[in-house]
Amino acid sequence: MTSTRTSSAPGSLTLQRIFSAPDLNGPTPMALKFAPDGQRVTYLKAGSSNFEQLDLWEYHIASQQTRLLVEAASLAIAGRVLSDAEKARRERQRISQSGIVEYFWAPDASAILFPLEGNLFLYHLNAAQPLQQLTDASTFETDLRFSPDGQYLSFVRAQNLFCIELASGDLRQLTHDGGGTVTNGVAEFIAQEEMHRFDAYWWSPDSQAIAFIQVDESTVAVSQRYEIDADHFGVFDQRYPFAGSANASTRLGVIELATGDQQWLAVPRASDTYLARVNWLQDSTRLAIQVQSRNQQQLDLVTWHRTDNRFAVLLTETSATWLNLHDCFTSLADGQGFIWASERTGFRHLYLYGISGELLATITNGPWVVTSLQGVDEKKGLVYFEGFADSPLEKHLYCASLTATSPAVRITASGMSHQVELDNDCAYFIDRYSAPNQPPAVSLNTIDGRVFTHMAANKLDATHPCWPFIARQGQVEFGELQAEDGQTLHYRLIKPPHLAAGDTCPLLVTVYGGPGVQRVSNEWIPPWHHYMAGRGYGLLQLDNRGSSNRGKAFEDPIYGQLGVAEVQDQLVGVHYASDLPWVDARRIGVFGHSYGGYMTLMLMLQAPDIFAAGVSVAPVTDWALYDSHYTERYLRMPADNPGGYLASSVFPYVSQLKGRLLLIHGMADDNVLFTNSTKLYKALQDHNLPFSIMNYPGAKHGLSGRKVNLHRYGMMDDFFDLHLKQGYL
């Protein structure tokens, strides 16, 4: 059989084209932000010759002019290697591109701060010499912030907090005890990876104090992690908080900038609880601290008074399974009230509270989910938020009353999914939207939803990078099925183009299936799916129970044992698709990455007669090998649920493997440790079962980079063609 890496039908989409410039998704801006004064929108965009390197751009609203501000390649330092801390941080944030990957506006909108290869730069918008380099190549700085008054720039260097007074250039070191296992102002591993809290210090709104978390990893047991690169082998003593083991020790401190005085806050909490979120109230006199219990079934919102060191528990959320964290806490301007989100009804909704913890208003309600709070117009008494009030397949921007329950008013256009960013005055919003026939586009809209301008219309026409391949795109179908308990399952099916009447094709189930993620939605489908459809494969995606944005009743069936409800639901989809006249039920494959890799294994092992082949990438195979915060959320402590841990692992089912299996893993994965795969290799060998492997030297969990992706997807092509096509066609 001819390899798909080197040949293809004339005019068809190839892997080389998918992973080359210009990006097939079109010229889509990223990291869109309003300037604090509302006059500009800035964003990151890849260059036409290198889609992996990002540059900084602006759109000036009044003049409607777009211009390149900073080209990353012009500032790159040859041979500069990112620090280990920065590499880990980017891996946690799933940043796979290079160049300018983040930036920060000065509060007075006069300048933009950005890091590049460990150095800090300021771009001054109205200066004759706009670019100013703040630090040199001898140090690495991370976790950058402007003070709210714009007078200071803060960052973390060598595990300590620093700040620069911008007017004088004076550098101050704010903490001095960082080093070894102690870090100030940097979120710990599980905070970044599992709590999605990437910050660990916060300026007070009056710019007079900084609250920060100190992390001491000495409490975390040392385990050895092996990193195998192309030309060297490393053994690292990693402090990885396995499920059931001790976490890093954290404590919350406050530094008064004027005096440099520092105090540690005696937050009322058990020693094994998590500091989940920290927010200043707008009056700068209080901190709001979210304390999550180790079993994640209780969340306390605690305030600390800066003036008299007094604590108060404002409210407590509880759950019989687990509580999902959120970023919806918002202090009102006077500091006397706040907006809070809760799933107490089974769906996340917004509530207005007084500063003493009294409930003042239920802002939203109904059998649908609020995903994020986007803005508050206190003068008009309006709250703007993203959610799924119209359909679980489309995320929209909505508006509701701040002080009373009222119907959610949809602002964004139906028929597509949206991601928005509001300006400070709630007068405009940036709308990033897409649909299956609309690549990701960006418009600038007035707050009532009217389009002010199309910043990136990204129309799928003859000028679009995808246009030459449009005739070979698959036919997309959405539908609903029913889970065992009667809940609705949404699926998306892609049928190969030009499939002749009466012909059948193999089917690929592309699965994630894990909590906190939704895959089936009315949005742009990445080109790889259409590439596979063009090569004669049908593709099925289904959001099983446990997936997000459907409410707690949809999520909770996975509690106590993973890989049961998820497998049942995926099989509902497979059985439906197998009965379609164009699907060959003998040729069903499955592919997934991370939790999807785990699901690939569980499907192949628990339904061995259904799946002829599967590709499992970076899978968890034994949940005792995964981290505490994620695993205990769903499986409790190992000592309290040993049967659940065993049944949730792949090992009780290994002997049932019948289909062909390809296992792929990065050999420097510090998230889903490579041990997950090597342990499975040994179990399969002990059962004398054939399987294939492809390991990538130096690769982390995301397996990012053009060369790695080109190779691994080529491996998958050859593998599925061999086992799902050869001998059948």
pLDDT of 298 above 80 = yes
For 370, the 3-state DSSP assignment is: strand
pLDDT of residue 1: 38
Ranking 64-78, 329-343, 580-594 by mean pLDDT, the lowest is: 64-78
Confidence of residue 659 (pLDDT cuts 50, 70, 90): very high
Whether 539 and 494 have beta carbons less than 8 Å apart is answered as yes
Tokens representing 569 are: 């639901």
- With a threshold of 0.85, does the pTM exceed it? yes
pLDDT of residue 340: 98
Per the document, the length of the chain is 729
| C-alpha dist (Å) from residue 232 to 85, 226, 227, 419, 667 | 20, 11, 9, 43, 12
What is the chain's mean pLDDT, rounded?
Answer: 93
Q: Of the residues 701, 717, 721, 723, which is catalytic?
A: 701
pLDDT of 671 above 60 = yes
Tokens representing 112 are: 């933009």
Element housing 530 (H / E): helix 527-534
Whether 57 and 72 have beta carbons less than 8 Å apart is answered as no
pLDDT of residue 335: 86
Tokens representing 715 are: 């491996």
Ranking 73-82, 157-166, 319-328 by mean pLDDT, the lowest is: 73-82
CA torsion sign, 621 to 626 to 628 to 634? negative
**Strand-pair partners of 303:** 288, 312
pLDDT of residue 224: 73
Q: What is the crossing angle of helices 595-606 and 565-578, to 10°?
A: 70
Dump pLDDT digits (tens) for 240-270: 999 999 999 999 999 999 999 999 999 999 9
Whether 306 and 284 have beta carbons less than 8 Å apart is answered as yes
pLDDT of 272 above 90 = yes
Nearest to 508 by CA among 571, 564, 574, 565: 574
Tokens representing 301 are: 């919102």
| C-alpha dist (Å) from residue 435 to 137, 415, 418 | 44, 7, 9
Reply yes or no on whether 529 is catalytic.
Answer: no
**Dihedral angle computed from the Cα positions of residues 167, 170, 175 and 178, in that order, rounded to the nearest 10 degrees:** 120
Of all residues in the chain, what percent carry a pLDDT higher than 90? Answer: 84
d(CA 185, CA 198): 10
pLDDT of residue 139: 78
With helix as H, strand as E and coil as C, how does 225-264 read?
A: EEEECCCCEEEEEEECCECCCCCCEEEEEEEECCCCCEEE
Q: Of the residues 594, 628, 649, 677, which is catalytic?
A: 594
Question: Would you list the domain boundaries of the chain?
Answer: 25-140, 467-725
Ranking 93-97, 393-397, 437-441 by mean pLDDT, the lowest is: 93-97
Phi/psi of residue 130, nearest 5 degrees: -70, -30
Dump pLDDT digits (tens) for 180-192: 999 999 999 999 9
Q: Given this structure, which CATH class describes domain 467-725?
A: alpha beta
Strands 538-542 and 583-593: unpaired
Q: Is the backbone of residue 449 left (phi > 0), alpha (psi -120 to 50) or beta?
A: left
Confidence of residue 417 (pLDDT cuts 50, 70, 90): very high
pLDDT of residue 126: 87
pLDDT of residue 86: 65
Reply yes or no on whether 692 is catalytic.
Answer: no
**Dihedral angle computed from the Cα positions of residues 519, 431, 421 and 410, in that order, rounded to the nearest 10 degrees:** -80
**What is the residue-wise DSSP string for 675-724?**
HHHHHHHHHHHHTT---EEEEETT--TT--SHHHHHHHHHHHHHHHIIII
Mean pLDDT confidence for 467-473:
91
Confidence of residue 94 (pLDDT cuts 50, 70, 90): low
Pick 335 or 233 by higher pLDDT: 335
Phi/psi of residue 574, nearest 5 degrees: -65, -45
**Dihedral angle computed from the Cα positions of residues 625, 628, 632 and 637, in that order, rounded to the nearest 10 degrees:** 80
Confidence of residue 135 (pLDDT cuts 50, 70, 90): confident
Whether 296 and 348 have beta carbons less than 8 Å apart is answered as no
Mean pLDDT confidence for 460-465:
94
pLDDT of residue 688: 98
pLDDT of residue 2: 43
Q: Find tokens 């107490």 and name the residue.
A: 344
Whether 715 and 692 have beta carbons less than 8 Å apart is answered as no
Ranking 35-49, 442-456, 595-609 by mean pLDDT, the lowest is: 35-49
pLDDT of residue 136: 76
pLDDT of 146 above 80 = yes
CA torsion sign, 441 to 447 to 453 to 455? negative
| C-alpha dist (Å) from residue 398 to 340, 347, 385, 388 | 17, 16, 5, 9
Nearest to 89 by CA among 176, 171, 155: 155
Whether 350 and 383 have beta carbons less than 8 Å apart is answered as yes
Contacts of 273 (CB under 8 A, 6+ apart): 291, 292, 293, 294
Confidence of residue 354 (pLDDT cuts 50, 70, 90): very high
Phi/psi of residue 360, nearest 5 degrees: -105, -35
pLDDT of residue 140: 84
pLDDT of residue 407: 93
Confidence of residue 87 (pLDDT cuts 50, 70, 90): low
CATH topology assigned to domain 25-140: Neuraminidase (2.120.10)
Q: Of the residues 669, 670, 717, 721, which is catalytic?
A: 669
Mean pLDDT confidence for 2-16:
66
Reply yes or no on whether 701 is catalytic.
Answer: yes
